Chains A and B, each alone.
Chain A
Amino acid sequence: MMRFLPIALAAIIFTGLQIVIGAWVKRIRPPVVDERGEAENTPDAWLWIIATTLIFILLSMMMAEAWSRWV
């Protein structure tokens, strides 16, 4: 349980980081106007955030192992 706590915490922070970057990009990026209007927060955008977080969890395990060998 204690082993997975830091990973879960890191995953939550990483998901938050993605949302913050998304909000920042939305602010700085000029709007694209087309006949269909804008698709805000499409399901795909959220699926990408979930998939990227899962990838981050795998990578953080690899990073942790590499770090333990380094120190």
Chain B
Amino acid sequence: MNTVLSASEEIITARTAPGTTQVVTPVVMSVRAKINAYIELTKPRIALMIVLIAAAGFALGSNNGIDFSRLFHALFGIALLSGGIAALNQYLERERDCFMPRTASRPLPSNRLTPFAASMFGNSLTVLGIIYLAIFVNPLTALLGLATAIGYVLIYTPLKTRTSLSTVIGAFPGAVPPLIGWAAATGRVPLIAWALFAIQFLWQFPHFLAIAWMYQDEYEAAEIRMLPVVERRGVATAQQSIIYALLLIPVSLLPTLLGLTGMIYFYGALALGLFYLWASVRTGFDSSRARARKLLLASVIYLPLLFALMVFDTVR
């Protein structure tokens, strides 16, 4: 069965200069392809990572065994929220995404969905997610979800074309998953929950700066002011990657200092931190995209391993 987009759903994104629009021919799609496009709009792989980290936060916050019913509700609400935020982010960036080969095949720049449909979908998922968390989990979790949505969609996304410091701003909502997981389990956010937030906050810098270095030219074409775009040589990028990886080492040891985890985690976190720092230092040695890719790989190994180790070695 084929579905033809109506004339009112004509898509107004095209490969013109950022900030300008042009009406293009609607795309004919099957229902299945359209559903796939909506799923793609939620960035499912990122949503999965967010849900897993939130689950780790929930498990770490659960003092007297895990309440699986509450865990399910929390993860479902967080998944809704994550999908909604991703959809709204793509809606806002639909024109710029046309200029980057990395993002040009997304549902909006490739004309598989209309901006109106994506906006409605994103808003609905976000609102549903917040309401779901408020009803089935607790008000604090919903409040954190709302703050994340505002921080990511209304503050971070518009700042991307204005200042390279948007990466710093975006790191705040980006670090919420373990905090929201903990809040879902306990209804509180004590110092240790903020330590988990700090770990994820710091982790993001080498990770996102590596991505920005790899796609420097694409970001520049899309007029997104990432640090490697405004400082082409990459000195500040390498400097900041190293400094954040360095800061991450003592902060990643906080769970043991605060009595949440034992010495297995302590030494494991230390080893992982040194590995991440080494990968960041290596990016200082050359300007290659291959080196930045290795740092990115190190970052995606580091975080899941660290949280898995934390859950494994919980001592209380």
Q: A residues engaging B (CB < 8 A)? A: 17-18, 21-22, 24-26, 28-32, 34, 36, 38-40, 42, 44-45, 47-48, 51-52, 55-56, 59, 62-63, 65-67, 69-70
Report if B198 contacts A (CB, 8 A): yes
**A24-B284, A30-B286, A48-B165 known; A42 and B231 CB under 8 Å?**
yes
**A17-B243, A59-B247 known; A66 and B234 CB under 8 Å?**
no
Is the CB–CB distance between A69 and B258 below 8 Å?
A: yes
Label chain A's interface by main secondary structure: helix
Is the CB–CB distance between B198 and A31 below 8 Å?
A: no
Chain B interface residue count, CB cutoff 8 Å, equals: 35
Q: Residues of A contacting B309 with CB < 8 Å?
A: none
**Closest residue of A by beta carbon distance from B168:** A51
Supplied contacts A32-B233, A52-B243, 11 more A-B pairs, CB within 8 Å:
A25-B239, A29-B238, A31-B233, A39-B232, A40-B233, A44-B164, A47-B164, A48-B240, A52-B244, A56-B247, A62-B251
Q: Residues of B contacting A38 with CB < 8 Å?
A: 232-233
Report if B191 contacts A (CB, 8 A): yes
Q: Residues of A contacting B234 with CB < 8 Å?
A: 29, 32
Give the distance to chain B from A70, nearest Cβ to Cβ, in Å. Answer: 4
Q: Residues of B contacting A48 with CB < 8 Å?
A: 164-165, 168, 227, 236, 240
